[in-house]
Amino acid sequence: MGLGAAALTTIGAVPVYEFECEECGRRFEELTGSEARALPCPQCGSGRTKRLLSPVSPASRQPRGARVRSDESRRGEREAARGERLAESKRKRAAGEL
């Protein structure tokens, strides 16, 4: 269950905004209040930056906790375990245990 903007303001949370420098083109993120419209660029120091609108993930696509893993990470874990089993059986075969 998420907090609304009013709840975030009352508890003192400050959002992270994405900015882009109009001089050098660098994109950077800053932890700042919602009233900030432009900040100096950390690369070139220019004050000509603009705040970008960042896409928001739909609630159904957000992880539900630390136990949620992507298919890619599960596949990597399976392949690593398979590699360990193969290495173990090769070691046993070389030692004459199999």
User: How many Cα atoms sit within 13 Å of 25 on the Cβ side?
Assistant: 0
Note whether residue 1 is domain-resident: no
Please report the pLDDT score of residue 10 as a whole number.
Answer: 46
pLDDT computed for residue 66 by the predictor? 54
Measured CA to CA, the distance from residue 44 to residue 17 in angstroms comes to 19
Q: Scanning the structure block, which residue is given the tokens 């083109």?
A: 25
Q: Are 24 and 41 in contact (CB under 8 A)?
A: yes
Range of the domain at 82: 13-54+69-93
Look at residue 3 and tell me if it is in a domain: no
Residue 49 placed within a domain: yes
d(CA 65, CA 24): 38
Residue 61 lies in a domain: no
Query: Where is pLDDT greater, at 57 or 6?
Result: 57
Predicted local confidence at residue 73, as pLDDT? 76
How do 49-52 and 16-21 pair as beta strands? Answer: antiparallel
Q: Does residue 20 fall inside a structural domain? A: yes
Q: Which residue has better confidence, 60 or 16?
A: 16
pLDDT one-digit tens code per residue, 67-76: 566 677 778 8
Note the pLDDT tens digit of each residue in 1-20. Answer: 444 444 444 445 667 788 89
